[in-house]
Amino acid sequence: MTCVLAAVGATTAENRARDRQDLVRLLDWDAWGRLLLVIDFTRDRLGEKRLHIADVYGDGHDIVLPVDAMTWHAAVAAAQRYRDEAAHPPHRVPSPENGIQRVCVTADGMTEIAETVLRGHVLRMRGGDHTTSDGCFDPMDGMALTLRTLAVQAVPPCAKLDLSGAIRQIQRCMALSGDKMVAADVSNRLEPFLGQACYRADQTATFAPLFAPDATMAIDGRPPVSGSSVVKAWAGFVCERQDHFSLSGIDAAADEATVHGSVMTTRIDNTAAGRRGIFHAFADYSQHWTRGPDGQFRLAAWIVGAFSPETEEKSE
């Protein structure tokens, strides 16, 4: 735990206690052991309350800001509810049906650890430590959900993002810079272009309103296209080789924004050795978004750079 916290620039709960600070902390890992979130709600010896969301990717995009007393007390209450429910968990064993006892099984679940420092006492809690006998109720789930929600609500650009789940909102929020409220607007507009973006021909018309009338697109050395040809060119490109688009950052000003990201192509084919292989190629892309007369942002220019040579995906 000490090494994990040091890697994201956070101090240990024991150090917080020595400094006479109060702390409510949540750490989340995904099912593959990758660190997703480190959220700290703190109150120092002078009573100042802060939220610190660490940038677990090491890019220096930490979110640090003061929070009000209501947010701090809600975080403390979530920790206190965990302790109460851990001591007296609801007993939710379902009745047997046809002689078969049902149980709850979690596959590829997250790992959650929480730490609190309250009145100088350090308490460390892990998801799964306290569950009902059927495994269907874990008080850590409620505590973690509350802390993530409080963190999102405390950061206006994060709360503005139309994404499902507080973890996704916080991760996307880390990618916003400049005027972050404007960047959040652009993020909401560009979401349909992210991920596996291949759509049927009859679906592409719904994306036309996201492009500016005079939009331009240039793809890996191909002749650039503009205007009404852009939607067709984009739709054809994204379906060529199972393109997958990811986002690196959005830098926004009042009426424009620049988006940076990468695109990965995937091809499945036989290797020289005669076995099936998965091959990827990568390219960087940039987008320029501008605000139209109606106040909506639209994609004005999209440039996809040169693709790398294909490499075979390594098997685990």
Instruction: Specify the pLDDT at position 108.
Output: 65
The predicted model gives 67-81 an average pLDDT of 94
Residue 23, CB half-sphere, CA atoms under 13 Å: how many?
28
Domain residue spans in the chain? 2-173, 177-312
Query: Closest Cα to residue 158, out of 146, 168, 143?
Result: 168
Asked if 300 and 289 count as a contact pair (C-beta separation under 8 A), the reply is: yes
The predicted model gives 135-151 an average pLDDT of 85
Could you give the percent of the chain with pLDDT greater than 90?
Answer: 54
For the CA atoms of 198, 201, 205, 208, the dihedral, rounded to the nearest 10 degrees, stands at: 50
> Checking phi first, is residue 195 left (phi over 0); if not, alpha (psi -120 to 50) or beta?
left
State yes or no: pLDDT of 95 exceeds 70. Answer: no
Could you give the percent of the chain with pLDDT greater than 70?
Answer: 91
Asked if 281 and 307 count as a contact pair (C-beta separation under 8 A), the reply is: yes
Query: Closest Cα to residue 188, out of 157, 153, 166?
Result: 157
State yes or no: pLDDT of 107 exceeds 80. Answer: no
State yes or no: pLDDT of 149 exceeds 90. Answer: yes
- pLDDT for 156-197, tens place per residue? 999 999 999 999 999 999 999 999 999 999 999 999 888 876
State yes or no: pLDDT of 11 exceeds 80. Answer: yes
Confidence of residue 10 (pLDDT cuts 50, 70, 90): confident
Instruction: Specify the pLDDT at position 134.
Output: 65
The architecture (CATH level 2) of 2-173 comes to 2-Layer Sandwich (3.30)
The predicted model gives 135-143 an average pLDDT of 77
Phi, psi of 79 (to 5 degrees): -65, -40
- Other CB atoms within a 10 A radius of the CB of residue 152 amount to 24
Residue 19, CB half-sphere, CA atoms under 13 Å: how many?
14
Question: Picking from 33-42, 45-54, 170-179, 191-200, which range would have the lowest pLDDT averaged per residue?
Answer: 191-200
Average model confidence (pLDDT) across the chain: 88
Comparing 239 with 113, the larger pLDDT belongs to 113
Integer angstrom CA distances of residue 37 from 8, 23, 84, 202, 308: 10, 16, 25, 39, 31
Model pTM?
A: 0.85
Query: Closest Cα to residue 289, out of 260, 263, 264?
Result: 260
Query: Closest Cα to residue 74, out of 119, 33, 44, 43?
Result: 43
Asked if 255 and 290 count as a contact pair (C-beta separation under 8 A), the reply is: yes
State yes or no: pLDDT of 314 exceeds 70. Answer: yes
State yes or no: pLDDT of 248 exceeds 70. Answer: yes
The architecture (CATH level 2) of 177-312 comes to Roll (3.10)
Can you list the positions of beta strands (E) in the chain?
22-29, 35-43, 49-53, 63-66, 111-118, 121-126, 176-178, 195-196, 211-219, 225-226, 244-252, 256-270, 276-291, 297-304, 311-312
The predicted model gives 146-161 an average pLDDT of 96
Question: Residues, the chain, total?
Answer: 316
